[in-house]
Amino acid sequence: MTADSTAQPSRQVHVDVPALTELLDGQHGAVREQVRTNLVKHADVLVDAETMDRDAFRDRVKDVVLAMAETGATGLGIPEAYGGGGNIGASIAAFETLALGDLSVLTKVGVQFGLFGGAILQLGTKPHHDRWLADLTAGRVMGCFAMTETGHGSNVADIETVARFDVETDEFVITTPHDSARKEYIGNAARHGELAVVFAQLEVSGEQHGVHAIVVPIRVDGEPAPGVRIADSGHKLGLNGVDNGRLWFDDVRVPRENLLNRFASVSSDGVYSSEIESQGRRFFTMLGTLIQGRVSVGGAAINASKVALTVAVKYADRRRQFESGEEGTEQLLLDYGMHQRRLLPLLAKTYALHFAQEVVADQLHEVFSHTSGSADDKAVRLLESRAAGTKAIGTWHATRTIQECREACGGAGYMSANRFAALKADTDVFTTFEGDNHVLYQLVAKGLLTDYSSGFSDMDQFGMVRFVAGVAVETVLEKAAVHKLLERIKDVLPGGNEDEWDQEAGLLDPNYQVAMLRFREDHMLGGVAKRIKGGVDRGGNPGEVFSNVQDHVIATARAHVERLVLEAFVSKLETMPEGDNKVALNLMCDLFALSVIEGDRAWFMEHGRLTVQRSKAITAEVNALCRKVRPIAVDLVDAFGVPVEMLRAEELIG
């Protein structure tokens, strides 16, 4: 198909919706279906969110979470020996599917079973597992993940809560040294939490050993534990069914055994020991085990986008506005080219992100199900980078998509009954949950610049600047695989002129699309490396050098992640049998790829990869693809499998 392929398909594509749903649900389809059933059973919680006062709704959310725990759908990541499912991949699938419903329920599940339970599972050892996992899996014990402090959010390594070991009593003494060191925004803290995994600076015999995690009781018989002060964080923009709170510790004493000691231990006579000598590496090894939260949030955001698109597309297929030329007949919103432009590229990106999320979830399952107990370091670093990037692009996409869908539904979209009010408010924080997206993109770029030669832990941003400045820029470019790009070009145009590949290749050729995104990524990466090296060579302070190139760093990371997303989509298509469903998803993939190129066409034109004529051809092709997708748009959103009870939009979509 060529650049001027604007004609409609020779025949209408017929989507097999159940089969497409099965494809999207993947290997954990039964788990996703169980969660959908649970959501329908508790669908009235969506109304309760609007009618109950805050404390009553918090208790209602807790009741729903505990009811779901009884079905086994919330503890799938916990080992079977403790009442869980023993399957990380299934756990991610269940969590993602929960995002089709009330997001306070989703978040409380994440806090209880993902953050609190995950910390005990991944940072603790068998005595801790035996002591707490079965109770937390069943919901008999509610817990918190107390990491963030008022004065330190993303910079976890410098949190100020102190855990000092008292050798005489064989206890740790947990102290909040001043008010800005209080634990802030802690889910489950304000009302329901009984235990907290507290992250604190460990001090043994006067020596500092960095951040470690300790289990601390925060309530006894419903009242704050001795030495623990608790306050409500207050009303939030969204997620008010989650009881976020503040915690202070006034010399709270806990037994030495409460230290989660998978990576470091303290003996009764006050001797600290760890198999990981580097404090920085030990810290990031510890945080790396908690990557599941980042993967989960990204998947939840993508699924929330599906809800918004389902409502908006079905509304646009039903709502008429202005006469179309036929007397007395008004035109459907979805038949208007601009309405297609607003919604259908977002639909295509949602499909693309779904398959990209599938890749990172599979990688997570593989890494954390490694039979030897520890996966290859390079695999872990690649997972950390991919999880950071997918979470960032997925959550930003949700924010944009939900807003566009709300506007596309006009005044009706502004009514709470149609889900957009809750979706907008409750997903807004996802862009900063589990790491601010700009910080996450910097982690992605760091991995690219250093070829993952160290963990995110061993090298801060200044170390990364020094590293890049200390190697030849050509080495960075080689690691960026520029030489492989030429091989890809030859695949696109066998025997063709490499300087003209991007002018002659077909716009709908996936090799062309991937090569364009690869060129952009590699060119940006080389440019960042040159700017960093040049700044240091001129005597610049590493911190100032990094600050001056931050915009370039973020753009490079975004380009890298978009290329990974496209490759995930193309790879999925290669596994599909021939048929109309594959044709439909090919349309989605083309629409996503060309929308990305169109959205950054200024860059491609600045760097000689798009002529004015070809740029216009891409815009024409995007318009043509929207027209081809329009007849199957409702089928494509129906395939998401959002239960009608979760839509609530009876007046909008019938």
pLDDT at 484: 53
- Residue 173 in contact with residue 216, Cβ under 8 Å? no
Q: Is residue 267 part of a domain?
A: yes
Dist CA 89 CA 331 (whole Å): 45
pLDDT at 324: 64
> Tens of pLDDT along 482-508?
445 545 555 544 444 555 555 556 899
Confidence of residue 416 (pLDDT cuts 50, 70, 90): confident
Whether residues 32 and 104 fall in one domain: yes
Q: Is residue 650 part of a domain?
A: no
> Tens of pLDDT along 88-110?
999 999 999 999 999 999 999 99
pLDDT at 10 over 60: no
Alpha helices (runs of H) in 331-460, residue ranges in sequence order:
337-368, 377-408, 420-427, 437-450
Q: In the 8-state DSSP scheme, what is residue 294?
A: H
Which of 126, 141, 156 terminates a domain? The answer is: 141
Whether residues 491 and 576 fall in one domain: yes
Type of residue numbered 161: T
CATH for 270: 2.40.110.10
pLDDT at 354 over 90: yes
pLDDT at 477: 57
pLDDT at 511: 92
CATH for 597: 1.20.140.10
Whether residues 137 and 149 fall in one domain: no
Which of 141, 164, 180 terminates a domain? The answer is: 141
More confident residue, 461 or 539: 539
Minimum mean pLDDT range among 45-54, 66-75, 152-161? 152-161
pLDDT at 536: 83
pLDDT at 202 over 90: yes
- Residue 201 in contact with residue 208, Cβ under 8 Å? yes
> Exposed, middle or buried, 129 (CB in 10 Å: 0-12/13-18/19+)?
middle
What is the average pLDDT score of the chain? 88
pLDDT at 457: 45
Q: Is residue 306 part of a domain?
A: yes
Give the residue-averaged pLDDT of 322-327.
62
Whether residues 172 and 55 fall in one domain: no
pLDDT at 415 over 60: yes
pLDDT at 214 over 80: yes
> Tens of pLDDT along 13-35?
999 999 999 999 999 999 999 99
Dist CA 463 CA 160 (whole Å): 23
Give the residue-averaged pLDDT of 601-605.
95
Dist CA 437 CA 433 (whole Å): 9
pLDDT at 379: 81
Whether residues 168 and 123 fall in one domain: no
State which residues form the domain around 360. 292-322+329-638
pLDDT at 372: 43
Confidence of residue 6 (pLDDT cuts 50, 70, 90): very low
Q: Is residue 284 part of a domain?
A: no
Q: Is residue 644 part of a domain?
A: no
CATH for 130: 1.10.540.10
pLDDT at 68 over 90: yes
Whether residues 70 and 193 fall in one domain: no
Whether residues 312 and 392 fall in one domain: yes
Whether residues 137 and 156 fall in one domain: no
pLDDT at 547 over 90: no
Q: Is residue 538 part of a domain?
A: yes
Dist CA 217 CA 121 (whole Å): 17
Closest CA to 639 of 15, 36, 14: 15
Whether residues 135 and 83 fall in one domain: yes
Which of 117, 141, 165 terminates a domain? The answer is: 141
- Residue 389 in contact with residue 440, Cβ under 8 Å? yes
Total-model pTM: 0.92
Give the residue-averaged pLDDT of 440-458.
74
Q: Is residue 2 part of a domain?
A: no
Confidence of residue 283 (pLDDT cuts 50, 70, 90): confident
Give the residue-averaged pLDDT of 212-216.
96
pLDDT at 3: 38
Tell me how many domains the chain contains: 3
Whether residues 404 and 469 fall in one domain: yes
Distance of CA 49 to the CA centre of its chain: 25
More confident residue, 373 or 289: 289
Whether residues 149 and 121 fall in one domain: no
Give the residue-averaged pLDDT of 457-486.
59
pLDDT at 326: 62
Per cent of the chain over pLDDT 90 is 70
pLDDT at 169: 97
Whether residues 123 and 151 fall in one domain: no
Q: Is residue 614 part of a domain?
A: yes
Alpha helices (runs of H) in 409-436, residue ranges in sequence order:
420-427
